[in-house]
Amino acid sequence: MKWEVVIGLEVHTQLTTKSKIFSPASTAFGAAPNTQTAVVDIALPGALPVMNRAAVERAIQFGLAIGANVKRRSVFDRKNYFYPDLPKGYQISQMDLPIVEGGVITIQVGLETRSINLTRAHLEEDAGKSLHEDYQGMTGIDLNRAGTPLLEIVSEPEMRSSAEAVAYAKALYELVTWIGICDGNMSEGSFRVDANVSVRPVGQVELGTRREIKNLNSFKFLQQAIDYEIRWQIETIEDGGRVVQGTVLFDPDKGETRMMRSKEDAHDYRYFPDPDLPPLVISEEWIERVRSELPELPVAMQARFIEQYGISAYDARMLTSSKILAAYFEATVAAGADAKLAANWIMGDISATLNREEKTIADCPISAAALGALIARISDNTINNKTAKDVLKKMWESGATADVIIERDGLKQESDTGAIEAIVDTVLAANPKAIEEYRSGKEKALNALVGQVMKGSGGKANPAMALELLKKKVG
């Protein structure tokens, strides 16, 4: 039987506010336990929540960036459940009237572009942390994270493979970090993904029974967990079993998902509007101000790059994978580099070296201006491409500019016809067979000789000029 996979994602993004969503405690990561809590966060009786304007503004930014409906009026609800890292006994969230409804994220898988619709995005507070190491047989609770603002972003179940789910999660990640509402630090839990996965026979209209994989904090785990879950569900059904709706956890060491709780045990959250918080009303003026302050978004920037710089759609997409990379590219071009060469160098040698050294473009030791100056020396024929790679390596290590290194190491390309001619003559004299082959119609025979001329010049000959001279002499 052929199976179709159905995936929807729920992503919790921590918003980049200085203080918590309902209290004036700091949200900074890594403080000593329970030193960043206010009366609201530890739920002292009578403490009342007061909404953080910046958290609302981040949600508006997101809604506008995905073309969603930013609700002029939304409501906060209590989601009741018992767990010690939630001292109030309920999480403040939004159920029936979330701040953002709808919207679209465009993803690219291979050559195919797809639009994934979003259901909603709502504001809520994070819970604290439970530490299960042995504290006299008890559990330790740190409430520093309790009350950190979250935007939970829910997609429609429109993804059909783990590759699409990862592409969606990455596109979303790129967007929230691009507009600056989330710092994107996945190891600190700033971007956490839950995946709802089900399978159904191809052609069947109703959805299969889904299981929800909780709390995936890397794209690799997201892919592995979904792939495992799909195989497990198909095998279970084909072996005559049935999938029971429930929540599962992914164990990265074993590469497996395992049941945490079934639907029978599902919490009944008893949602109701929080009497402490009247409705959130957002004015047109506020929305228009946020709209006017939004940066150019990746999709728009890609289109502009293709149009303005004449680079390929693929290059434009790669260069806009982060705002800082896009800025680096534009600064390189502004410093005098040819745009296509700049794209090739940034995605080639620069990216490769950064990867090898486990750095990001933000820590690149070569500034965009310095790279631009190097590329300009290729375009004006001062050095050839191969020499440029060596110069780049030296720039990386020493921090010197391209011009200084070219001058110091005598790397200037030899474009003096006389000097190259002498080398060409020597090479031709030593290779009568290649000449014969070329004359009998084998065009390629001379290419090998260009290499020898380059070698004879210590790599400094202009290869195009060498080929031209060879042809002239033989022809």
Sites for another protein among residues 47-66 (CB under 8 A) = 50-56
Q: Check residue 237 and give left, alpha or beta (phi > 0: left; psi -120 to 50: alpha).
A: alpha
Nearest residue (CB) to another protein, 266 versus 419: 266
Nearest residue (CB) to another protein, 273 versus 365: 273
Interface with another protein (CB under 8 A), residue total 54
Contacts 24+ apart (CB under 8 A), 36-43: 36/144, 37/143, 37/144, 37/146, 37/147, 38/147, 40/147, 41/87, 41/128, 41/143, 41/146, 41/147, 42/87, 42/143, 42/146, 43/87, 43/88, 43/89
The DSSP secondary-structure symbol of 159 reads B
Q: Which of 194, 249, 196 is nearest to 11 (CA)?
A: 194
84 is a contact residue toward another protein (CB under 8 A): yes
13 is a contact residue toward another protein (CB under 8 A): no
Sites for another protein among residues 213-232 (CB under 8 A) = none
Helical spans, DSSP H, in 266-322: 284-293, 298-309, 313-319
Q: Which stretch binds another protein (CB under 8 A): 78-86, 221-229, 352-360, 438-446?
A: 78-86
455 is a contact residue toward another protein (CB under 8 A): no
Task: Identify the residue among 110, 137, 203, 432 touching another protein (CB under 8 A).
Answer: 137
The DSSP secondary-structure symbol of 147 reads T
135 is a contact residue toward another protein (CB under 8 A): yes
Q: Which of 279, 295, 365 is nearest to 327 (CA)?
A: 295
280 is a contact residue toward another protein (CB under 8 A): yes
Q: Is 67 helix (H, G, I), strand (E, B) or coil?
A: coil
The DSSP secondary-structure symbol of 38 reads -
What does the alpha-carbon distance between residue 474 and residue 445 come to, in Å, rounded to a whole number? 11
DSSP string, 363-400: G-SS-HHHHHHHHHHHHTTSS-HHHHHHHHHHHHHH--
Task: Give me the least distance between CB of 264 and another protein, in Å please.
Answer: 8
What does the alpha-carbon distance between residue 153 and residue 161 come to, in Å, rounded to a whole number? 19
Tokens of 357: 């050294």
Task: Identify the residue among 244, 281, 334, 422 touching another protein (CB under 8 A).
Answer: 281
Task: Identify the residue among 69, 130, 312, 385 touching another protein (CB under 8 A).
Answer: 130
| Class of residue 238 by CB neighbours under 10 A (exposed 0-12, middle 13-18, buried 19+) | exposed
Nearest residue (CB) to another protein, 94 versus 162: 94
364 is a contact residue toward another protein (CB under 8 A): no
Q: Which of 473, 12, 444, 406 is nearest to 214 (CA)?
A: 12
Nearest residue (CB) to another protein, 280 versus 402: 280
Tokens of 75: 């409501």
257 is a contact residue toward another protein (CB under 8 A): no
Task: Give me the least distance between CB of 261 and another protein, in Å please.
Answer: 7
| Class of residue 132 by CB neighbours under 10 A (exposed 0-12, middle 13-18, buried 19+) | exposed
Task: Give me the least distance between CB of 85 and another protein, in Å please.
Answer: 9
100 is a contact residue toward another protein (CB under 8 A): no
Q: Is 3 helix (H, G, I), strand (E, B) or coil?
A: strand
Count of other CB atoms within 10 angstroms of residue 243: 18
Site string for another protein, 258-277 (x = CB under 8 A): --xx-----xx----x-x-x
97 is a contact residue toward another protein (CB under 8 A): yes
Tokens of 109: 């898988």
Nearest residue (CB) to another protein, 129 versus 170: 129
Nearest residue (CB) to another protein, 141 versus 368: 141
Task: Give me the least distance between CB of 342 and another protein, in Å please.
Answer: 38
Task: Give me the least distance between CB of 96 and another protein, in Å please.
Answer: 8
Nearest residue (CB) to another protein, 83 versus 314: 83
Sites for another protein among residues 15-44 (CB under 8 A) = 17-19, 23-28, 32-38, 42, 44
Task: Give me the least distance between CB of 275 and another protein, in Å please.
Answer: 7
Nearest residue (CB) to another protein, 89 versus 255: 89
Residues that bind another protein (CB under 8 A): 17-19, 23-28, 32-38, 42, 44, 50-56, 75-76, 82-84, 97, 130-132, 135-143, 260-261, 267-268, 273, 275, 277-281
